[in-house]
Structure 1
Amino acid sequence: MLQIGEKAPDFTLNDKDGNAVSLSDFRGKKVVVYFYPKDNTPGCSRQAQAFKAAHDSFNSNDIVIIGISKDSEKSHQNFVAKYELPFILLSDPELKAIQAYGVWQEKKMYGKTSMGVVRSTYIIDEDGKVMKIFPKAKPDTNAAEILEFLVK
C-alpha cells in the first residue's frame, strides 16, 4: 500500500457511461478514493449507501468521492441506478489503479485463499498527495470516519 505523504498514482478509468475520468481532473480538491470488491454485494452496497447518505456533507465541503472496483461499466450503471448513487464509480477491470494503490491482495474466505480487492480508502489532498489511508475499511462506518477526519 501507499504511504501518507506520497504522491497518489494518477489514473484514468471509465465511469458507468464510458467517460474517461482521471484523478488529476480533481487537482485543487480533496478526493476520497475508495476501493471495494464488488457491486451489489452486501458490504459494498452498505458502504455505497453510507457514502450516499453523507454525500451532502462531502459536497458542501468540496470533497469528491470516487468508488473503484473491477466491475464493468454496465455493472456500475445497474449499481448506481439501484441505489441512486450520486458520486463517481469507476471501472478497473485491468486492475491498473487497484494494483497501483496496493489493494489487490491475498484474501482468505471460508478457508480458501484467493486474490481480490481489499476494501480500502485513500484521502488525496489538493496537491495530489495521500493524506490519510483507511486500510480494511468498514463498510458501515467508513464515510463517517472520513468526514470526522476531514471536517473538524
Structure 2
Amino acid sequence: MLEVGTTVPDFCLSNQDEEEICLRDIKGRWIVLYFYPKDNTPGCTTEACDFTAALPDFEGLDAIVLGISPDSPEKHRKFIEKKELKITLLADEDKELCNLFGVWQLKKFMGKEYMGVVRSTFIIDPDGKIAAVWSKVRVKGHVDAVKEKLEELQD
C-alpha cells in the first residue's frame, strides 16, 4: 500500500458521466481519495452518503472527494441517482489504480478467499504527495476522522 510521503503517479479514470478525471487536472488542491468495494452495498452506501453529507465541509477546506471502485461508470451513475450522492465516483474497472495504491488484496469472508478492494482512504496534498492513509476502514465515524486529519494537515 502506498505510504505517507509517496508521490502519487499521474492517473486518469472515467467518472460516473464517462468524463476522464486526471490527477494532473486536479493537482494543486487537497484530494480525498477513498477506495471502496462495490456500489449499492451497505457499508459502501453509508460511506458514500457520509462523504456526501460532509461535502460542504471538505469544499470549505479546498478539498475534492473522489470515490473509487471497480464498478463501471454506468453502475456509479445509477448508485449516485438512487442515493442522491453529490460526490464524484471513478471507475477502475481494470483495477489498475487499486493495484497501484495496494488496495486490491486477498480477502477472506465466511471461509472463502477472494481478491477484492480493501476499504482504504488517502489524503493527497496539493503537491501530489500522500499526506495520510487509512487502511481496512471501519465506516462508522470515518468521514469525521478524515475531515479532522485534513484540518490538522492544513494548520
Aligned residue number for residue 93 of structure 2: 93
Q: Which amino acid aligns with 2:66?
A: I
**In the aligned structure 2, how far is the partner of 1:101 from the partner of 1:3?**
9
Aligned residue number for residue 149 of structure 1: 149
Aligned residue number for residue 128 of structure 2: 128
Aligned length: 152
What RMSD over aligned residues (CA atoms) do the two structures have, in Å?
0.9
Alignment of 1:3-18 (within 5 A): 3-18=3-18
**In the aligned structure 2, how far is the partner of 1:24 from the partner of 1:74?**
24
5+ residue gaps, structure 2 = none
Aligned residue number for residue 71 of structure 2: 71
Matched, 1:25 2:25: yes
Alpha-carbon deviation of 1:109? 0.2
Aligned residue number for residue 106 of structure 1: 106
Identity %: 43
- 3-state SS in 2 of match to 1:5: coil
**TM-score computed with the length of structure 1 as normaliser:** 0.97
Please tell me whether the aligned partners of residues 120 and 134 of structure 1 are also in contact (alpha carbons under 8 angstroms).
yes
CA offsets per residue over residues 53-72 of structure 1, 9 Å max, x none? Answer: 11110011110000000001
5+ residue gaps, structure 1 = none
- 3-state SS in 2 of match to 1:148: helix
**In the aligned structure 1, how far is the partner of 2:22 from the partner of 2:118?**
22
Q: Which amino acid aligns with 1:125?
A: D
Alpha-carbon deviation of 1:9? 2.4
